[in-house]
Amino acid sequence: MSEAPIPDVEQFRHKLLAVAYRMLGTVADAEDAVQDAYLRYHQHATDINSPEGWLVRTTTRLCIDRLRTARREEYVGQWLPEPVPETWGGAGSDRAELTESLSMAFLVLLETLSPAERATYLLREVLGYEFDEIGEVLEKTPVNVRQIAARARKRLETRERRYAAPVGVADDLAAQFFAACRSGDAGAIEAMLAADVTLISDGGGKAFAAKEPVVGTRKVANLFAVVFRKLRPVSKLTLTTINGGLGAVFVTNGAPFEVITLATEGASVSRLYVTLNPDKLRLWSDAPAGAGTKRPLPWSKNANGTPPELREAEPGAAEGDVRD
């Protein structure tokens, strides 16, 4: 008697990538975790009754193991999740709940959770798993899972609501913000920023970026006005969908070197996320393989390493001028 055919499980790859990316924050790690799950599946396929459930559980466990051994404290400067286009398999733009959990602001909030809390929150709140199903993943009782879920919700609820915006409103606001940046008018940019606006930039030690968050409307507006003006003649700026919302990509000689996303609060921009680490920009490259690149240097530094764009302009100075 012939064995039953092994079902086609490739149909689950996008869902698995969605889970892994939201757990790990980088494309390469997510793809590696999913591939490992598939390898394990094919070793035991004949004994598995529910391939989708088995693969989700295994992928999640692999992600938890990776998070427990991750050394984020050794990362140079601030760490941001890798920005992804809507065309990448794990973006999950075909499901509303996956799109909502894809924003950079939400992924940054997930970083505040432990690996078990992150897995529980995603499986419960995003994918709708029952507590007993999550217990199988975490090897915990449903009661323990409920406690973990409650802790995760308590940590995220207030901050998550802050960044919530009606469909389309956030993109319209982002378009207006980037138009102000393109104009180089620091005043117009500043008018769109929340009073406690915060800029987080990730260079990973491979590109110049502020090692601490930049806070305040004047500093952030001055920075963006000058940087956009300096980059305009040497690069191509494209507005596109990034992590489910409108963002900006700077490219020079076919090589991406900066991706900007944002979070909104009411009618203001409250958070800005700038990814400069080239290792996190590979999905945005339109350069032919092996092409040489020449990266522009939008930021110059003074003796103590502070970019002059972060220093406040003198009162009455010309637009974009900064104090030495």
CATH of domain 169-310: 3.10.450.50
Q: How many residues does this entry show for the chain?
A: 324
Query: What pLDDT is recorded for position 278?
Result: 94
Long-range contact set of residues 218-221: C-beta below 8 Å, sequence gap at least 24: 218/190, 218/312, 218/313, 219/310, 219/312, 220/189, 220/190, 220/193, 220/272, 221/186, 221/187, 221/189, 221/190, 221/193
Query: What pLDDT is recorded for position 155?
Result: 85
CA distances from 151 to 144, 148, 279 (A): 11, 5, 33
Boundaries of CATH 3.10.450.50 in the chain?
169-310
- pLDDT tens-digit readout, 205-223: 999 898 899 999 999 999 9
Query: What pLDDT is recorded for position 74?
Result: 79
The answer to whether the beta carbons of residues 17 and 61 sit under 8 Å apart is: no
Boundaries of CATH 1.20.140 in the chain?
10-162
Query: What pLDDT is recorded for position 101?
Result: 85
Query: What pLDDT is recorded for position 141?
Result: 95
- pLDDT tens-digit readout, 271-311: 999 999 999 999 998 533 333 333 343 333 333 333 443 33
Which alpha helices (DSSP H) does 201-261 contain, by range?
A: 217-231
Written as six digits, the tokens of 220 are: 């952030």
Query: Which residues of the chain are under the pLDDT cut of 70?
Result: 1-6, 72-73, 93-98, 158-167, 286-324
Q: Classify domain 10-162 at the CATH topology level.
A: Butyryl-CoA Dehydrogenase, subunit A; domain 3 (1.20.140)
CA 52 to chain centre: 26
Query: What pLDDT is recorded for position 285?
Result: 80
pTM: 0.83
As a whole number of angstroms, the distance between CA 179 and CA 26 comes to 29
